[in-house]
Amino acid sequence: MTRPYYIAGNWKMHKTRAEAAELAVALVDQLKDGKHKYLVAPGFTLLETVAPIVKGTNIRLGAQNCAAEEQGAHTGEVSVLQLKDLGVQTVILGHSERRHIYKEDDALINKKLKLALAHGFEVILCIGELLEEREAGKAEAVCETQTVKGLEGVAVADLGRIVIAYEPVWAIGTGKTATPEDADAIHAFVRGVIAKLYGQAAAEAIIIQYGGSVKPENAAQLMAKENIDGALVGGAALKAGAFVPIAKFG
């Protein structure tokens, strides 16, 4: 089965509105003939600026997180209703920075995921192990737990709107990258977890991105692997000169 490649840019806590607009305009222009599926996820304050620039193009608009409740007295949170109002199509959930810096656990991430699905969003569910977990031989166990608990209560009919992003935490922003072989092995393992949960057809269909110091220099080698279906790009997503070659690899 041939799965579409999906290249997403997570802008994290970077860019002013003017800078975001400049980057979005450049990406729309330079990716208009791109063959793959694309997404940018600006910070919350930038969504309204970027939305009209990417609307109607081949670049989806993503948010980096959402609240676990639909609305209400949740100071400092951003609701799925507000995101939908801005034209957001996809929500990134469970990013390692949310898990490890802001202490979001699997139950909270699962609650957010089901809420986002209920409101029609696509979800990119991030999973991945810490360096000490990998060195202790626990990488597969950690990824299995995060996948199973993240998808708890999700029907097979909704799985088509879920993308999994494998991000080894030790490779995010460090310059270290899992070798294509290391990454593909975890991707294949996670595909096996999906097969156990939802069946072989669902496992074959699900898109699993790799994230963790993806650069123009290593993108093609990573994407060449059988189970790697795209990338969730961090630092290299902040400049068109770096993101476009990744997005147009091959």
CA-based angle 211:213:216, to the nearest 5? 100
pLDDT tens across 110-137, in order?
999 999 999 999 999 999 999 999 999 9
In this predicted structure, the answer to whether residue 237 has a pLDDT above a threshold of 80 is: yes
Of all helices (H) and strands (E), which one includes residue 163? strand 162-166
How far apart CA 72 and CA 163 sit, in angstroms, is: 28
Question: Rounded to 5 degrees, what are φ and ψ at 61?
Answer: -100, 125
Which is higher by pLDDT, 212 or 127? 127
% of the chain residues with pLDDT over 70: 99
pLDDT tens across 71-92, in order?
999 999 999 999 999 999 999 9
Which of 136-140, 149-153, 169-173 is predicted with the least confidence, judged by mean pLDDT?
A: 169-173
Question: Rounded to 5 degrees, what are φ and ψ at 66?
Answer: -155, 165
Question: Residue range 196-201: average pLDDT?
Answer: 98
Q: What is the mean pLDDT of the chain?
A: 96
pLDDT band at 172 (very low <50, low <70, confident <90, very high): confident
pLDDT band at 1 (very low <50, low <70, confident <90, very high): low
Residue 169: burial class (beta carbons within 10 Å; 0-12, 13-18, 19+): buried
DSSP annotation of 154: -
Contacts of 131 (CB under 8 A, 6+ apart): 169, 170
Alpha carbon of 75 to those of 46, 99, 244: distances in Å?
19, 20, 37
Domains of the chain: 6-247 (3.20.20.70)
pLDDT at 2: 83
pTM over 0.75: yes
In this predicted structure, the answer to whether residue 250 has a pLDDT above a threshold of 70 is: no
How far apart CA 153 and CA 114 sit, in angstroms, is: 8
β-pair partners for 209: 165
How far apart CA 65 and CA 16 sit, in angstroms, is: 19
Give me the long-range contacts of 184-188 (CB less than 8 A, separation at least 24).
184/225, 184/226, 184/227, 184/228, 186/139, 186/140, 186/143, 187/225, 187/227, 187/228, 187/229, 188/226, 188/227
pLDDT tens across 10-32, in order?
999 999 999 999 999 999 999 99
DSSP 50-107: HHHHHTTSSEEEEES---SSSSSS-TT---HHHHHHTT--EEEE--HHHHHTS---HH
β-pair partners for 208: 164
pLDDT band at 48 (very low <50, low <70, confident <90, very high): very high
Structure-token match 């309204």, residue found? 48
Known catalytic residues are: 95, 167
pLDDT at 82: 98
| Short-list 35, 36, 94, CA closest to 64 | 94
Buried b (16+ CB within 10 A) or exposed e, 114-133: bbbbebebbbbbbbbbbeeb
pLDDT at 171: 84
Question: Residue range 184-196: average pLDDT?
Answer: 98
pLDDT tens across 135-149, in order?
999 999 999 999 999
